Amino acid sequence: MYKLTILLLTILEARITYMAFYLESLKFSNFLILHGLVALVLFFPNQYNKRDIFMSNRLTVAIPFVGIFLYLIDLVFFRGNDFKVVEEGFDFEKYLDKEKFLKEVELREELKLIGANTKGIDEKKEFITKLKPRDIKIRVRMLKKGLVDKDIEVVHYSAVVFNQLSENFEKQLKKYKKLYNKSKLRKDFQNLIGFYGKYLEVGILEGEILKVYREDYIKLLEERILIDDELEDHIKILGMYITLKNYSEAEKRGEKLLEKYINNSRIYEIMAKVYYESDNLEGLKKIYYECLKRDIDNSEVLENIFKICGIER
């Protein structure tokens, strides 16, 4: 029984060492706690098994050092030379909802690194493959910069990575669609719409393809409204119509929403944007007088639009 305990604890020690130093999925502090518990379990039975003290004590100390040694070997000889274009397990969703951590000026400086004439091909390729900012939009812009580089190899690497990103986004989108079509749950729809919206924003899609995806996004929202009529989905459709510059459809939907939500300031704000971007001064005046009539608190956006058009309280 004692030897079986020694064996099981040795396996546990090896496992937590592997998780802590190789997978990096276990915090070092947690590793120390678990290692200490293993050491205690190995130590106390020694009082009754004096002949095994030497072996068990050496096991308690030796296994972590083996793990650390393997970790250092991996770090020095393997990770430093890992120039794979894209890792198979690249977590795209991890980057989607993070706050922007680079200011525009800093971003410009990062983008210059790809096109700088003083940089060699190897340095540019390493930059493209290894630098992964938390904001996926920045990564896409970096890759697009690489696509117009003077070095053909850099262009090739950028194209490969860009296509890989696009393919993975497509796979993720199909996964969310399949899950929602199967469950029809609001939670799964929110995940699908959230991912869809980010996919449209990151800059991978362009031109007519982007337009088609935006229209599909609207259809998906329309489908959801038939099941569960939520104001947020209407507002997303309005925003997409503005992006597509389909002001006539935006006006129709917005006017219907104003009839239903007569005191909702967000809808007034969106409709002011629609009329402003479509150069519809009469529509803006209508929104202005409705705000006065219903005592709607003007947001900063509304105030600025009214001032630009010469309409003030």
Give the contacts of 308 (CB within 8 A, at least 6 positions apart). 276
What's the pLDDT score for residue 156?
Answer: 86
**Identity of residue 207:** G
Nearest to 64 by CA among 7, 24, 13: 13
CA atoms within 13 A on the CB side of 180: 22
How many angstroms separate the Cα of 302 from the Cα of each of 247, 263, 311? Answer: 18, 15, 10
- pTM, entire model: 0.55
What's the pLDDT score for residue 248?
Answer: 93
Nearest to 146 by CA among 159, 163, 131: 159
Four-residue CA torsion sign, 179, 180, 186, 187 = positive
Angle at 309 between CA 308 and CA 313, to 5 degrees: 90
What's the pLDDT score for residue 234?
Answer: 93
Residue ranges in 116-264 assigned as alpha helix (H) = 121-130, 136-147, 152-183, 186-201, 207-227, 231-243, 247-260
In eight-state DSSP terms, residue 46 is: G
What's the pLDDT score for residue 257?
Answer: 92
What's the pLDDT score for residue 203?
Answer: 84
Q: Which long-range contacts (CB under 8 A, 24 or more apart) does 20-27 make?
A: 20/67, 21/67, 21/68, 21/70, 21/71, 22/67, 22/70, 22/71, 22/74
Phi, psi torsion values for 40, nearest 5 degrees: -65, -45
What's the pLDDT score for residue 204?
Answer: 86
Q: Average pLDDT across each block of 10 residues of the chain; the chain has 313 residues. List them in order.
A: 67 71 60 68 56 53 57 53 38 43 49 50 67 74 82 84 88 91 88 87 85 91 88 92 93 92 87 89 85 74 71 62
What's the pLDDT score for residue 88?
Answer: 38
